[in-house]
């Protein structure tokens, strides 16, 4: 679970998102970091027995910096006012499949898969889909997957309008092949993050994504 103190810090930061306030509240931030790391540790403790590919992960591999990248953003607020946890199945690959937990009041969610893979990675995933689309179809039509996540995320930013280069429009897996990202997500009630059994309950949801991550890893680890 997330401590009430950590949530209070996020609330205070949202109301005072500037470097002066952060410097004046350095001790509060240090306490927040400890709570944040304990939160990650509790999720790892529940997830590792369910997915052994996470065994080598440490808390430091799953954190996000609190500083925002404001170089290309109209919003120049220097700090993030959410809490994110990223459990990747291969910490040595830049964009490896994984599991994500996001706390942000009114916008909390969990997710998994691969978001916007690089060109060569995308080619590998599409090749795997072209030859083994029945496997992917079996994963996303599984009743448990459908209950928790519905389907792979499809929106204007993640789906091509036409068949990708090299694939026929009538390919049996064309709707999968049009994808530019391979993720799924579920909104989570903020109150669940305060539940003492949060990590156990959220792990039972996240692990449903494991077959999708395994399919994506299989694609990325296959030599052309």
**Phi/psi of residue 127, nearest 5 degrees:** -65, -40
Q: Give the pLDDT confidence score for residue 119 in this predicted structure.
A: 93
Asked if pLDDT for residue 38 goes beyond 70, the answer is yes
Q: How far apart are CA 214 and CA 220, in angstroms?
A: 10
Structure tokens at 11: 């609330």
Q: Give the pLDDT confidence score for residue 98 in this predicted structure.
A: 96
Q: Give the pLDDT confidence score for residue 224 in this predicted structure.
A: 61
Contacts of 142 (CB under 8 A, 6+ apart): 211
Q: Give the pLDDT confidence score for residue 125 in this predicted structure.
A: 97
Mean pLDDT over each residue of the chain, to the nearest integer: 94
Residue range 185-200: average pLDDT?
96
Structure tokens at 123: 């080619």
Return the residue matching tokens 């990650």. Answer: 40
Confidence of residue 27 (pLDDT cuts 50, 70, 90): very high
- Complete domains list, the chain, with CATH: 4-220 (3.30.930)
Q: How far apart are CA 110 and CA 1, in angstroms?
A: 14
Asked if pLDDT for residue 223 goes beyond 80, the answer is no
Residue range 180-191: average pLDDT?
96
Asked if pLDDT for residue 93 goes beyond 80, the answer is no
Residue range 34-46: average pLDDT?
97
Q: Taking the model in full, what pTM does it have?
A: 0.94
Q: What percent of the chain has pLDDT over 70?
A: 98
Q: Give the pLDDT confidence score for residue 72 in this predicted structure.
A: 81
Contact 55, 63 (CB under 8 A): no
| Per-residue model confidence as pLDDT tens digits over 113-165 | 999 999 999 999 999 999 999 999 999 999 999 999 999 999 888 899 999 99
| Per-residue model confidence as pLDDT tens digits over 60-83 | 999 999 999 888 888 889 999 999
Q: Give the pLDDT confidence score for residue 213 in this predicted structure.
A: 97
Residue range 193-199: average pLDDT?
96
Asked if pLDDT for residue 9 goes beyond 70, the answer is yes
């Amino acid at each position: 679970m997330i401590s009430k103190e950590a949530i209070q810090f996020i609330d205070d930061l949202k109301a005072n998102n500037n470097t002066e306030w952060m410097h004046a509240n350095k001790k509060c931030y240090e306490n927040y970091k400890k709570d944040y790391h304990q939160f990650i540790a509790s999720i790892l403790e529940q997830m590792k027995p369910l997915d052994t590919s996470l065994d080598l992960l440490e808390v430091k591999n799953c954190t996000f910096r609190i500083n925002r990248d404001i170089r290309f953003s109209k919003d120049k607020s220097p700090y993030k006012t959410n809490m994110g946890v990223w459990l990747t199945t291969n910490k040595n690959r830049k964009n490896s499949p994984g599991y994500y937990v996001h706390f942000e009041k009114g916008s909390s969610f969990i997710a998994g898969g691969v978001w916007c893979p690089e060109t060569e990675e995308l080619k590998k995933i599409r090749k795997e889909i072209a030859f083994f689309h029945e496997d992917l179809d079996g994963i996303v039509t599984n009743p448990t997957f459908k209950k928790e996540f519905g389907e792979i995320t499809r929106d204007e930013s993640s789906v091509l309008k036409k068949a990708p280069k090299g694939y026929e429009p009538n390919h049996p897996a064309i709707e999968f092949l049009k994808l530019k990202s391979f993720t799924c997500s579920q909104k989570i009630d903020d109150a669940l993050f305060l539940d003492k059994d949060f990590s156990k309950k959220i792990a039972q949801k996240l692990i449903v994504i494991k077959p999708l991550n395994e399919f994506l890893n299989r694609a990325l680890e296959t030599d052309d």
